[in-house]
């Protein structure tokens, strides 16, 4: 049963905001089917991708997260009919905003994952974790959080 787990110098912290009807169930399926995927991800379940306020993402960056995923039902599958359409527009604008702010868009991911797409979930998470690992820690934002941090380090 034991599988070799590769070791890395840096393990990114990844936050996933997911809708409870599709992506969460998809991830649940991945779990119950005992699929392997990167353990770096911490999930927050919300009723709908339309409920995922960009404010959440700002907060996660503030709290020292290296990458964020937002995921919900495919267009047309929303449990509330249209929540994910609003989410799509909002996130399009929000990404451009963060880009203009100077945050690497590689640290943000948006995906549609249905309750049956456990495999897609594991693939998206693994690929995203690798990408963020390659980008390294989100230093810029960490320094914002505590601009005096490096004085302590030097001491």
Partner 1 sequence: MIEAIRTQARNLLENKEVDVIIGYAEGSDSTRTTPVFIRKPEEVSRLIFDPRCINSLPLYLNKRHEYPQKGWKRTGIIAKGCDIRAITQLIAENQLTREEVYIIGVPCDGVVSHFSKWDGRLHDGNQATKCAECDVHTPTDCDFFPGERPEVDRSAPYKVSAPQVLNLMGLNTDKRFDYWRQEFDRCFKCYACREVCPHCSCNICITDRTQPNWVDQAAHTKGVFAWHITRAMHLVGRCTGCGECTRACPMDIQVDLFNQRLKDVVQESFGYKSGYSQDEKPPLITYKTDDSEDFIQ
Q: Is 93 among the residues that bind partner 1 (CB under 8 A)?
A: yes
Q: Is 130 among the residues that bind partner 1 (CB under 8 A)?
A: no
3-state percent helix, strand, coil for the chain, nearest multiple of 5:
50, 15, 35
Q: Is 76 among the residues that bind partner 1 (CB under 8 A)?
A: yes
Number of other residues whose CB lies within 10 A of the CB of residue 71: 27
Q: Is 149 among the residues that bind partner 1 (CB under 8 A)?
A: no
User: In this chain, which stretch among 4-12, 14-22, 26-34, 85-93 interacts with partner 1, using CB under 8 A?
Assistant: 85-93
Token pair of 69 as six digits: 């995923």
- Smallest gap from Cβ 20 to partner 1, in A, equals 19
Q: Is 136 among the residues that bind partner 1 (CB under 8 A)?
A: no
Specify the residue, 1 or 152, whose C-beta has the smaller distance to partner 1: 152
8 A C-beta contact, residue 84 and residue 48: yes
d(CA 128, CA 109) in angstroms, rounded, equals 8
Specify the residue, 39 or 76, whose C-beta has the smaller distance to partner 1: 76
């Amino acid at each position: 049963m034991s599988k070799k787990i590769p070791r890395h110098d840096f393990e990114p912290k990844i936050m996933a905001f997911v809708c409870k009807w599709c992506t969460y169930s998809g991830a649940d399926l991945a779990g119950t089917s005992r699929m392997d995927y990167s353990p770096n991800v911490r999930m927050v379940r919300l009723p709908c991708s339309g409920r995922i306020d960009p404010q959440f993402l700002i907060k996660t960056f503030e709290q020292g997260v290296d990458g964020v995923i937002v995921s919900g039902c495919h267009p047309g599958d929303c449990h509330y009919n249209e929540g994910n359409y609003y989410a799509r527009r909002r996130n399009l604008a929000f990404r451009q905003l963060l880009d203009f702010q100077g945050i690497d868009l590689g640290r943000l991911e948006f995906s549609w994952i249905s309750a049956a797409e456990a495999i897609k979930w594991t693939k998206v998470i693994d690929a995203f974790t690798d990408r963020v690992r390659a980008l390294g820690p989100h230093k810029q934002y960490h320094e914002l959080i505590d601009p005096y941090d490096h004085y302590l380090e030097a001491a």
